[in-house]
Structure 1
Amino acid sequence: MKHSAPSNIPRTRLRHRLPVLAIGALLLSGCVDMPHPFGDPGPEGRRLALNTPPPRMDVPTPPDSLLENEASALWARHIVHALVTESVPAVAQPVRKGDWWLRLSATMEGEQVIPHYVVMTPSGEARGHWDAPPVPAQVWAAGRDEVLATQASEAAPKISSVLTGIQAAMMQADPQSLKRRPAKVYFKGVRGAPGDGNVTLARAFAAAFPDAHDKIQEQAEGADYRVEGVVTLTDGPAGTTGHPMQHIEIVWHTLTAGGKEAGAATQLHDIPAHSLDGAWGDVAMAAASEAAGAVHQIITNYSGRAHKPLPPEAGGDGAKGGAAARQG
C-alpha cells in the first residue's frame, strides 16, 4: 500500500527516429515523508538499521496532565488515534518492559497550560520531546473531547517528526545502515518490451544507475533492493490523422530484500503503432536515465537515509533538552 502522495519526476522529450515519445515518470514511493520509525521493518530493515525501535509505542494515561482522570485517559486515547494515522502503531496502555513510550504531561505558565510530549526509551531515558502551543487554563481544565482531539491531531505530526529524527540518529550510528554505506541493488533486467527494448533498456539502466549512494551487484543474495522493469503495450486510439496508436507503459518496480514493494516509477505515453518494434536507440537511453533517478529517490525515501538525525538531549529530563521544540 502506498502511504504518500505521488511526486512527479520532470518530463523528458525522448526521440526515436521521427516519432516523439514523451514519458512522464510518476514516483509512487512507499514512505516518502516517513519510513514508519516504529513499524516493524522486516528482516531486511532490521539488518540495515540494527537499532530500530520495536514495533509498538505505549501511551499511558498521564498522571500530571492537569486534567481529571477520565479526561487524562481521553487525551491519551486521542494521541494514540492521531499517531496511528501517522503510521506509528501506538497503543493506549501502561508502559511495558522493553517498550518505547510517550510521556504526556502539562504545566501551568501564568493563565495558560503547556502540554508536553516526551519520547522515552525502554530504559526510561528521554530521547526527544515537543511542547504544544499554550492553551487557556480554563479551556484545558474542562477536558472537552473536541479540545483534546484537536491537541492530539496537531501534536501527532510533530511527534512523528521527532521519531524520524530518532531513527535517523540510530542509522547514523550504525555502520551497516544506508546512511553509512551505498545500497546494494540487484537489477533483474527488463521484460515485455518489443524490438530490442528488453536488452537496450536494461543496458542503459545498468549504465545510468550506479552513483555514490546506490550500487548494482550481479547476484540477488545480499542485495538491499531488487529492481525490475516491465513494459506493457496496448492498442490505443486511432490518432489525430487516423494513424493507429499504441499505449506504452514502463514500470520500474523497486522491492526490498524481503519482497515488499518500496515503490514504483511509471513511464507512459501514446506512440505511433509499432514505432518501437525495432531498435529503441536514444529512447532507451533517455527512459533509463529518467528511471534511474526515480529509483534512487524511491530507495532514499523508503530507507530514510536522507532524514536529519535528532541531536542528543541536553538536559537529561526530557523537559529542557536540546531536542525540544516549542510551537506558539
Structure 2
Amino acid sequence: MISLFPRQFWRNGLGVLGALTLLGGCVDMPHPFGDPGPEGRRLALTTPPPRLAVPTPSASLLDNTASALWAKDVASQLVDQSLPAVAQPAKPGDWWLRLTATMEGDQVTPHYDVMMPTGEARGHWDAASVPASVWAQGEPKFLMSLASSSAPQISSVLTGIQAAMMQADPHSLKRRPAKVFFKGVRGAPGDGNVTLARAFVASFPDQHDKLEHDPKAADYSVEGVVTLSDGPAGNTGHPLQHIEIVWRTVAADGKEAGAATQLHDIDAHSLDGPWGDVAMVAASEAAGGVHQIITNYSGRDHKPLPPEQGATSGKNKTPV
C-alpha cells in the first residue's frame, strides 16, 4: 500500500475526509512475460510468450552439476520477481536466458543474455566478477546468492524489452490513450452514487486515459464501491461513521490492476443527503489514483531498452 496524500480537505462541514491509498497494482513491474489472455493480446498490451526458458549452460566454467544448479537458481529467483521462468531447454518459439561465464586473469564474470526465438540476443546484463577459485567450486550457497542478486537486474532488462516492443506497436498503451469503461458507483448513501459517478466522469479523462462506452472495447474497467460502518461516539459526543470508497480497476483479461481507496471518519449520517462538493473532491483524487494504477500496471512509462549492439544469431539459434 502506498500513501499518496492527504491532499485537499473535503469540506461541507465534514472536516478532513480522505487519505487516498493505492492497493495492489503499484509494484513497478509490468510482468513482461505474463500472458494477458486473448483479449489482452488483442488490446496490444504487448508481451513476449508467457515463459522464459533457462537452459543449463555449457559455457559456464562450472561442472555439469553446478551449471544445472545455477540455471535452476536463476529460474527460481526470477519466479520471485513475478516472471514465469522455467529451468529447462528452450523450445521453438521460446524466449530464453543464456547463461555464460568468461575468465580474465584470475577473475570470472557471469553473463546473462535474453535471447529471442530467432536466436538473436535482445538484452544482456553482466554480474560483478568473482575470483576464479571461488567460481570453480560452484558452491550452492554462492550460486543462490548470485542468482538472487542478478534476478532484479535481469527483470529490469525484460521490462525494457517489453517497453521497446510497446514503443514499436502503434496500438500499445505507449502510443495511444487507455480506454476505460466506468461501471459507476454503488453503495453510497444519499445522492452519492449519482454525484460521485458524475464527478468521476468529469474528472477522469486526460491525454493518457479516456472513457469508453463499450466494455468489450475497453482496456480497463473501473467501479466505485462505498461502504459505511458505525464508528466511535466521537470526541464531542456525536456518533461517527467510517466511510470507505474503493475505486477498483480491472484489466481487460479480468485481472485486478489495483484499487484506489479513500478512508475516513465522518459525522454519522452527514452524507445521507446531497454530497455537494465532497463528491467532486473525492472523485478528482480517485481519478488521479486510477491514472497511476493504469500507468504502473501497463508499464507505459517504462524506458525502452535500446537495440542490442552486435546482436548475435546463427550459432546461437539453438540454445545450449
TM-score, normalised to structure 1, is 0.93
In the TM superposition, what is the alpha-carbon distance from 1:51 to its structure 2 partner? 4.9
- The equivalences for 1:224-235 within 5 A come to 224-235=219-230
Distance 1:203 1:151 in 2: 53
* Contact preservation (8 Å) 2:241, 2:269: yes
Coordinate RMSD, CA, aligned: 1.3
Q: Does 1:116 align with 2:111?
A: yes
> SS in structure 1 opposite 2:153?
helix
C-alpha contact (below 8 Å) 1:59/1:102 kept by paired residues:
yes
Match of 1:322 in 2: none
Q: Which amino acid aligns with 1:187?
A: F
Alignment match of 1:271 (pick from 266, 272, 278): 266
**1:107 counterpart residue number:** 102
Deviations 1:53-110 (A, max 9, x none): 1111111111011111111111111101101000111111112111010000000121
Shift of 1:281: 1.2
Q: Tell me if 1:37 matches 2:32.
A: yes
State the secondary structure of the residue aligned to 1:221.
Answer: helix
Equivalent in the alignment of 1:149: 144
Conserved 8 A contact 1:194-1:276: yes
Q: Is 1:16–1:283's contact at 8 Å kept on the other side of the alignment?
A: yes
* TM superposition shift of 1:218: 2.2
Distance 2:113 2:8 in 1: 50
Instruction: State the TM-score, normalizing by the size of structure 2.
Output: 0.95
2:256 alignment counterpart? 261
Taking a change above 3 Å as real, the CA distance of residues 50 and 301 of structure 1, as seen in their structure-2 partners, is closer
Distance 1:92 1:166 in 2: 21
Q: CA deviation at 1:190?
A: 0.8
Q: Which consecutive aligned stretches of 4+ in structure 1 deviate over 6 angstroms post-superposition?
A: none
State the one-letter code of the partner of 1:124.
Answer: G
- Check 1:302–1:44 CA distance in 2 against 1; reply closer, same or farther (3 A cut): farther
Alignment of 1:37-116 (within 5 A): 37-49=32-44, 51-116=46-111
Alpha-carbon shift at residue 256 of structure 1 (Å): 1.3
The residue type equivalent to 1:203 in the other structure is R
Partner of 2:299: 304
User: Identical aligned pairs, as a percentage?
Assistant: 71
**Amino acid in structure 2 at the alignment position of 1:291:** A
Query: How far has the Cα of 1:246 moved from its partner?
Result: 0.3
**Aligned positions, number:** 313
Q: Secondary structure at the match of 1:316?
A: coil
Residue 50 of structure 1 and its aligned partner are, at CA, apart by 6.7
| 1:125 maps to amino acid | E
Aligned partner of 1:218 in structure 2 is 213
3-state DSSP of counterpart to 2:235: coil
Aligned twin of 2:282: 287
**Mapped contact 2:45–2:298 kept (Cα < 8 A):** no
